[in-house]
A and B are shown apart, each in its own frame.
Chain A
């Protein structure tokens, strides 16, 4: 790995840093990084890594550029709207540094392709925007023993860490062993995000990658760095490897990639797509079986129906009485409402939303679906 005269001029401010020097710059050139997501976080990461002299950057993104991306995704310009993000990213990176090899993967990362995508790279950087892809990225990196440079953002707050069980640190699942129920944690599309926030968190991720490349400094392995833009404050939490972690713990139960959509409770059936207010009877069962999730199930049918058929452990609060009795419920608690078939529970949901309840879902198909799919002992009427 040699540097030509043009590269020596380009990287001169690195070369005169004793911690980098010629040897460090050659290591940076010899490092390959797979950037999963070319959005808010992926933009500053890819641009700074290219400028800093990373030899090869892979970009995984299947999406196209939308106007709503331009507020923060600085890889893409107004003229790129409608184009493939991966193509647009490649063009921007080459404009910054033609010495950087860019490999584009214009595809959705999945359990089928993740190991093959990641295997050729030294370091993976997680700039994705959803839970299934974050768990998939984590598991694939743990299985392949690749450092996973993590960042995530929401509204005015961001988090960053380096997950590397093979270097003695925790992985994503050591922090968050299970995803939250679908719809409980809003995305940036739902909740918004300050445009510069991914710039700050992405630059922290890029910093960690360069340090891993040159092998200098103290990495974020075993620490979670938190940033709040409104208060302009950083804080940091100590992390530990969980011995009970299902993938990097003492007795791992996950030995290959799984179905991450199912794991995150996302139901692929077409009739369930497009209604974020609904959960399934399987979700309702999970809530009843796991009180620690903090989700309460409430039956909004009328008292006489409750007498005919009910699900054990589910209290009754009839829709007809909801207006006078909703104060018995806590607006900050998560509720799954069910009725007979799913229509009245949607009405109850709409009413509670108006009263300021944030986390209410309607059980699709109601107690009829429960009887069909979960417990045939519950009579259908």
Chain B
């Protein structure tokens, strides 16, 4: 299986696929994460159109609410 580098670690995934699909496959809630794709900011409304390919770099941050 192909992989991407997510938060510095290799992660196997069925690629290419949309960013939305990738996030769901990783058990993440797509509306509750911030994603940078190959160094670029991605707005949540672009997740379903954005294609993730083998070797891509992703930075993914989950929502937290504590204060």
Contact = CB atoms under 8 A, between A and B. Distances in A.
Interface band, chain B: 20 to 34
A198 interface: yes
Interface in A24-56: 37, 39-42
Contacts of A178: 31-32
A84 B1 CA distance: 57
A239 B34 CA distance: 8
A184 B31 CA distance: 13
Given A224-B34, A237-B59, A294-B29, A40 B43 contact: no
A185 interface: yes
Interface residues of A, number: 55
Q: From DSSP, what is the main secondary structure of chain B's interface residues?
A: mixed
B67 A151 contact: yes
Contacts of B66: 40, 129, 152-154, 187-188, 191, 193
A271 B23 CA distance: 35
Contact of B67 (A128, A177, A334): A128
A81 to B, nearest CB: 20
Contacts of A291: 24
Contacts of A330: 27
Nearest to B30: A292
Given A185-B63, A294-B24, 11 more contacts: A131-B65, A153-B64, A180-B31, A180-B63, A184-B29, A184-B32, A238-B40, A239-B34, A292-B30, A292-B31, A294-B27
